[in-house]
Amino acid sequence: METAGGFYREMNDLETALRRLPHGPEFRFVDRLTALDGGRSGEGEYKIRGDEPFLRGHFPANPMFPGVLLVEAAAQLAGVVAQSDHAVPPLENLKLTALRNVKILGAAKPGDLLRLEARIVGRLGNLVQAQATVRTAQQVVLTADLALSGDVI
């Protein structure tokens, strides 16, 4: 697996990779890439700071990172991996289009470092299939099979 440093030499930085996704900075759940094998697999991190606006209401007395955002973080990393395939041009408007076998196995809380893993398991035209896992230091909190799709440029 290529180190994040090798990826940065080619792609410049995480911002460049994330710009290939349709999300704005306010809705990004990947802070850092720790490993990337372009088009095959990647690892990244997101630190739950505790000041994210959605945590005020989810839940006020016991804040936790929403499960749907665990899925979103995993999908964003899968998108970065898919868009970094040197043999396949990036897809325009890449988005999450299907979920299978999603299991939320635990809670992530403010202060936790989410460790994200995504592996591309198939591609067909504008469809990308991936498997993803999200961990905290204590446990696996999410496993999922994801499908992403976009427009061929």
> Is 23 part of the annotated catalytic residue set?
no
CA 95 to chain centre: 12
Q: Which of 19, 28, 58, 109 is catalytic?
A: 58
Q: Which amino acid is at 128?
A: V
Q: Which amino acid is at 108?
A: A
Nearest to 130 by CA among 98, 84, 86, 87: 98
Provide the annotated active-site residues: 58
